[in-house]
Amino acid sequence: MSNEQQSVKMWSGRFREPLDAEFEQWQRSIVFDWQLLEHEVAASKAHASTLVAANILTKDEGIQLRDALDAISADHASDEGKLLVRNHPSAEDIHHFVELSLAERIGSLGLKLHTGRSRNEQIATDLRLYVRAQIVEVVSSLGLWANALLAQARNAKDAVMPSYTHMQRAEPVLVAHWLLANVEMALRDATRLEDCAARLNYCPLGSGAVAGATLALDRTIAARELGFTAPTANSIDATSDRDFILEYLQALTFVGLHLSRFAEEITLFATAEFGFVVLPEAFSTGSSAMPQKKNPDMTELIRAKVGRINGAAQAVTLMLKGLPLAYNKDMQETQEPAFSVDFVPQMLALVARFTSALGFNFERMNEAAQSGYLNAMAAATYLVHKGVPFRTAHEKVGNVVRFAIEKGVELSDLTLDELHRFGDEFAEDFNAAMTLTATLDCHDVVGGTARNRVRQAIVEAAEKIERMATQRHLKEAIHAGA
């Protein structure tokens, strides 16, 4: 490598010897951080605005730089263009690529843009912009899934199914109530991600390499242009902070966990042993050996994806553990885990379509909800209303259940004389309290499965999803930084 070739690097002035050729290729990040091009361009335009305000660049130079940056972004927006960035023969990273591209387009003016900044602050800014944009996509896709669940809850009306504890039938619940449980998980996931976005929404530009810019720059200019809340408060922290990547991956882990739990239940409910749901053929596959099979590939893959997401979070945790302040090259390794979970919005969109296409065997679910003494809790509550202490009522009903099991009947099939063996509190109104609707409606509390409560919960869930779908503060920030 000649001196002229070596001088192309952004840091080569201090060095006399060229890099080991294999090490040079091995340490380059352009092979993955090419994904930050649009964010690097946005941050560079914001920095140009700051330099113009500081009279380091003229207004005309600022316009030339911004136009050239827009042209670089436009030229590489296609898949072919992105491949050219990724395979650039000499760029070390996305910052180097943009600088080389600017020099090719506008000559030495392109080299002026790096005045007053460091790659340490650039990558910290680009990654914040990237994660913020990804959060918007994930939250939007969570809204799609939540709406699909809500639509199924509305369609289910007063259909009933068993609920489970310890994978044993527990009490009857409305199918809508079960679906809304998943909506609540999705809503919590969205708020975690939005909290993460709020915490990361501070601009590192102007932090320099570690101690702050050496020029009197107005840091609020870049922060405002990129849609950040404000500049970061400490240059050391700003250049070394990757908390937001870890927090983002941890928040996505919850998304994966909740999808996995949903997928597991659907996988079970689709078996012949349960028969509660009918898998849509558009999201299922067959067996190469057994002609009768319809396999739940969709839910099985969803169930597995949380491993990849949490693996990325664990990787970043170990990368950051024990790092001294401030920037260290180790931090380059946090990027690939962040990029590796870009499948989440698509996965959620697929889950939303899958959920909308699910069929429900309401008759089978209803039958299952009326056998196996799922009204035993309601029976104990009946005795409580008769003045029996709950612990005593629990014991009495347990004895009644054992008797009914031995006789091979349900509680409502027992005669009043048989019930009186276990207590005089049982009366003619017992069977009315044991009906399916009465068993549901005795759970008449906020968050309960009583029919009127679930109808209200559907209305409230729709309002929450609508608020989540707007994401005005995040979308405005993205628009401002576009």
What is the DSSP secondary structure assignment for residue 326, as one 8-state letter?
A: S
* Contact assessment for residue 27 and residue 185, using Cβ atoms and an 8 Å cutoff: no
To the query of whether residue 166 is one of the catalytic residues in this protein, the response is: yes
Cβ atoms < 10 Å from Cβ of 211: 12
* Contact assessment for residue 204 and residue 126, using Cβ atoms and an 8 Å cutoff: no
Catalytic residue among 90, 287, 371, 420: 287
In whole angstroms, give the CA distance from residue 369 to residue 377: 13
In whole angstroms, give the CA distance from residue 457 to residue 199: 31
The pair of structure tokens assigned to 262 is 């949903």
CB-facing half-sphere around the CA of 401: CA atoms within 13 A: 17
Cβ atoms < 10 Å from Cβ of 15: 10
To the query of whether residue 412 is one of the catalytic residues in this protein, the response is: no
- Closest to 357 measured CA to CA, from 427, 270, 421: 270
The helix or strand, by DSSP H or E, that contains position 171, with its residue range, turns out to be: strand 168-174
Sequence length of the chain is: 482
The interaxial angle of helices 59-75 and 94-106, nearest 10 deg, is: 120
Catalytic residue among 108, 166, 288, 479: 166
- Closest to 47 measured CA to CA, from 125, 134, 102, 130: 125
| Residue 315 CB burial class (10 angstroms; 0-12, 13-18, ≥19) | middle
In whole angstroms, give the CA distance from residue 9 to residue 21: 14
The interaxial angle of helices 451-470 and 119-156, nearest 10 deg, is: 150
- Closest to 35 measured CA to CA, from 131, 117, 116: 131
- Closest to 472 measured CA to CA, from 232, 260, 145, 197: 197
List the catalytic residues: 166, 287
